[in-house]
Amino acid sequence: MMYRQLADVYEKLEATTKKLEKRDILSELYKKCSSEELAKVVLLSMGVVYPRGELELGIANEMMKKVIQNIYGIDKHELEKKFKETGDLGLTAEFFIRHKKQQTLMKRDLTIEKVFENLRKLPKITGVGSQERKIALISELLSCAKEKEARYLVRTVLGEMRIGVAAGIVRDAIAKAFNKEPKDVEHVFNILGDYGKVAEMAKKGKMKAEIIPGSPLRVMLAERAPDLKTALEKFENPAIEMKYDGLRVVIHKQGSSVKLFSRRLDEITKQFPEVVEWSRKLIKADEAIVEGELLSVDSQGRPRPFQLLSRRIQRKYGIERMVREIPVQMNLFDLVYFNKENYMRKPLKERWKKLNEIITEKKGKFQLAEHIETKDFKKANKFYHYCLSKGEEGVMVKNLDAHYQPGKRVGYWLKCKPIMEPLDLVIIGAEWGEGKRAKWLGSLILGARDSETGKFLPTGMLGSGLTEEQLKEITKKLKNLIIEEKGRVVRIKPEIVVEVGYEEIQQSPKYPSGYALRFPRLLRFRENEKNPEDADTVQTIKKLFNMQRGRK
Ligand code: AMP
């Protein structure tokens, strides 16, 4: 298929806000694809070339500007002027093709195959000269692109499609194109985490979601409970577990091979050799997939700040030293696969029993999560306070009769933490400082996701109280994510999740979400743990607001 055809589809998608129309446009497109190109087209229609966003293309606006200048032979001033006007480098590139018509542009037509191939190479290029090699790959594509193609190519590279295609629309389009039920498509997606693969299966008519040890699975998610009492009442047979504040890790064991994946489905095996070793020795199974929370702990086994664990996740070299300096502890709480058998459809009671059978504990290192089973509020409350006294976040109340639902918040797990607990929000904007702080970005604009539209809506500004160290760190992280600048205010691509503490939620007509946080403060960055889609939603904030009001 030619890239031109896809560009036409992008344009149609951009032109409508109606979800059903978008679904129909996409389903027509998917139907037309050959088996070879379908998965690629599905991913590109979502604006990505890797299914899980695990490999960001890593191209910032500045690099893109250089490419555009070189290809169309324009100077910086001209480019900046147009960019300010359009606020979009895609439209800027399109404008220059239309008006410059530089002779050097190539005549070759772009295929989907070629675009996909070049973009896929980008995140893998590292080391000396990587910038030049990346520029060459993008330039090769852009020099063949016609007007509309350039608009969407640039946007794809920058990860900013502006066509309003959320995962739900892709799911429904696949279902419609290949006569499947959306819920079945979603179920397979929840196991595979890749709509490209799911579409291929749907086209073949074989939609079996097989667990394959060694390939990452999406994990089950929790909902917030207003309080412990309400949570206990929800289930006939509740289990209460310590809620550890660390990193969710899924361990895949196959014979002597062990792989570790994060909740974002990134592989983190190399960073934690001790966990690999424990898994090899202490999981009694030929094949198993188990999961738990990894913590960094002090010599007394008390949790240490998450930042330390982050250092271990990011570390590529000198791992052995890290193992000594930042010891970790694995707390296991679930099992989804055991010796060729899928355990997802079994109730938690059975999964927990099997987990207990196959784990040989090494206390303080590799152990089962602290877990009690009771419906008695007094006992549960005592356990809850015990967890808090241990420096942990709170408890998880789980339905022992419920199956494992990957990738979803279905209310089988309820988290209970002290009220006015922090929120996970996404940085969607910022402001350049003034005077001494002019070179730093501060005053973060925080966004909560609207679960209905997938958009991030502002819920407050976080400015005061940031140290110079923090400002430096923030500027470093945000610089490459700037989408648009107007005066001192910049719009930031919603990518970085931060945990934010606050005193109260207030209703606010000033903010598009309708709510504002009073005295927000930055607790920590959560970019290694959470994707923007995992951040708290406007709907959650509304719920918390109502709970807070009810309490007063
Ligand atoms: P939250 O990140 O606030 O949405 O809470 C859900 C997360 O808590 C899970 O993704 C796990 O990483 C973590 N967690 C800690 N302890 C447990 C536990 N006992 N059971 C399930 N999840 C847990």
Separation of CA 391 and ligand 1 centre (Å): 15
Q: Residue 488, by phi and psi: left (phi above 0), alpha (psi -120 to 50) or beta?
A: alpha
What mean pLDDT do residues 30-44 have? 97
The two structure tokens encoding residue 432? 């350049």
Task: Please state which architecture CATH assigns to domain 223-416.
Answer: 2-Layer Sandwich (3.30)
Confidence at 103, pLDDT banded by 50, 70, 90:
low
pLDDT above 80: residue 436: no
Contact criterion met (CB below 8 Å) for 483 and 493: yes
Least confident among 152-156, 362-366, 471-475, 548-552:
548-552
Distance CA 232, CA 237 (A): 9
What mean pLDDT do residues 61-80 have? 92
Q: Single out the catalytic residue among 22, 176, 197, 243.
A: 243
What mean pLDDT do residues 522-535 have? 86
pLDDT above 60: residue 138: yes
Number of residues that this document lists for the chain: 552
What mean pLDDT do residues 201-218 have? 89
The two structure tokens encoding residue 493? 């691509």
The residue ranges of every structural domain in the chain are 48-158, 223-416, 423-547
| Cα angle: 373, vertex 378, 382; to 5 degrees | 80
Which amino acid would we find at residue 218? R
Higher confidence at residue 442 or residue 252? 252
**Which residue out of 248, 291, 528 has the highest number of ligand 1 atoms within 8 Å of its CB and is therefore the one to mutate?**
248
Average pLDDT, the chain: 90
Least confident among 162-171, 369-378, 541-550:
541-550
Distance CA 313, CA 271 (A): 6
Catalytic: 101?
Answer: no
Residue 330 dihedral angles phi and psi, to the nearest 5°: -105, 130
Confidence at 552, pLDDT banded by 50, 70, 90:
very low
Which residue CA neighbors atom 22 of ligand 1 most closely?
243
Distance CA 149, CA 8 (A): 8
Choose among 349, 501, 352: nearest CA to 417: 501
Contact criterion met (CB below 8 Å) for 373 and 297: no
* pLDDT attached to residue 548: 63
What mean pLDDT do residues 321-349 have? 96
Least confident among 102-111, 116-125, 143-152:
102-111
What percent of the chain lies above the pLDDT cut of 70?
A: 96
Contact criterion met (CB below 8 Å) for 525 and 471: no
Which residue CA neighbors atom 23 of ligand 1 most closely?
243
CATH superfamily of 48-158: DNA ligase, ATP-dependent, N-terminal domain (1.10.3260.10)
Tokens 């000594």 found at: 324
Choose among 496, 494, 441, 446: nearest CA to 470: 441
What mean pLDDT do residues 500-519 have? 84
Residue 456: strand pairing partners: 449
Confidence at 418, pLDDT banded by 50, 70, 90:
confident
Separation of CA 263 and ligand 1 centre (Å): 10
What mean pLDDT do residues 390-417 have? 90
**Which residue out of 264, 331, 370, 396 has the highest number of ligand 1 atoms within 8 Å of its CB and is therefore the one to mutate?**
396
pLDDT above 70: residue 550: no
Query: 104-127 burial string, b = 16+ CB within 10 Å, else e?
Result: ebeeeebbbebbbebbbebbeeee
* pLDDT attached to residue 316: 80
Give pLDDT tens digits for 533-542.
889 999 999 9
* pLDDT attached to residue 79: 93
What mean pLDDT do residues 197-209 have? 91
pLDDT above 50: residue 551: no
Higher confidence at residue 237 or residue 386? 237
Quick check: do 223-416 and 423-547 share a fold? no
Which residue CA neighbors atom 11 of ligand 1 most closely?
248
Sequential DSSP letters for 112-163? HHHHHHHHHHGGG--STTHHHHHHHHHHHHHTT--HHHHHHHHHHHHT---S
Least confident among 29-33, 74-78, 358-362, 366-370:
74-78
Confidence at 104, pLDDT banded by 50, 70, 90:
low
What mean pLDDT do residues 311-327 have? 90
Contact criterion met (CB below 8 Å) for 264 and 54: yes
Looking at domain 423-547, does it have CATH number 2.40.50.140?
yes
Separation of CA 157 and ligand 1 centre (Å): 33
Higher confidence at residue 120 or residue 550? 120
